[in-house]
Chain A
Amino acid sequence: EDKVVQSPLSLVVHEGDTVTLNCSYEVTNFRSLLWYKQEKKAPTFLFMLTSSGIEKKSGRLSSILDKKELFSILNITATQTGDSAIYLCAVELYSGGGADGLTFGKGTHLIIQP
């Protein structure tokens, strides 16, 4: 069975701290790994990673994939209260059908205290 495991499940930090969120996966036919931010409703796309060792960066957020050890991390530096959300990791698999559904982890609930 394909598995995506995120840790920690919840995390409370103070504004200005740096956080690292983890995502490990055990899947067949890996294609890509995606990170989403879920605030109230819709998951909002952050990053897509397909190659090992190449860091993707957007402002204070960055992410990297290790395909040998089967994990990814999402870093957020100088956290702000607006970063409070559930961060979802999802893996896309090759299905052969062309439109591949994503397999999600349970998410990390991040709370930033002022």
Chain B
Amino acid sequence: EPEVTQTPSHQVTQMGQEVILRCVPISNHLYFYWYRQILGQKVEFLVSFYNNEISEKSEIFDDQFSVERPDGSNFTLKIRSTKLEDSAMYFCASSEGGGSYEQYFGPGTRLTVT
């Protein structure tokens, strides 16, 4: 069964460093999302992406974050200058359509900022 994949599974970085989290969405899906889950807290929406541009973003998704689809398969989240509070599990998701379509989640990347 097709699935969303993410790399790496765990990333440790120092405060102030840039990180890129990678995702390969399900191949026939057109809508892509990033969420994060700080340990012990809710899953929170960051951003959605369609047709090579951001469709919607939350208040969390500030100027230090960016997303890109650099080729036909990858979808990336870049955090420019990491802070301690960016430590979280980051989930990528994809869906076939943009509304009332199931979003399928990847296994996540655990980001630890020291």
Contacts and interface: CB of A to CB of B under 8 A. Distances in A.
Chains A and B come from one and the same complex = yes
B54 to A, nearest CB: 9
Interface in B1-60: 4, 31-33, 35, 41-50, 55-56, 58
Nearest to A90: B43
Interface string A34-52: 1010000111110010100
A42 B91 contact: yes
A98 B98 contact: yes
A50 B103 CA distance: 14
Contacts of A45: 102-105
Contact of B55 (A48, A50, A98, A105): A98
A81 to B, nearest CB: 22
A105 B58 CA distance: 16
Question: Contact size class for B?
Answer: 20 to 34
Contacts of A95: 55-56
B43 A99 contact: no
Contacts of B104: 45
A96 B41 CA distance: 28
Contact of B56 (A31, A44, A88, A99): A99
A67 interface: no
Interface residues of A, number: 27
Contacts of A32: 99-100
B102 A48 contact: yes
B13 to A, nearest CB: 20
A99 B100 contact: no
A55 interface: no
Q: Which among B31, B103, B106 has the highest number of chain A CB atoms within 10 Å?
A: B103
A70 B103 CA distance: 22
A100 B102 contact: no
Interface in A71-114: 88, 90, 92, 94-95, 97-107
Interface of A: 31-32, 34, 36, 41-45, 48, 50, 88, 90, 92, 94-95, 97-107
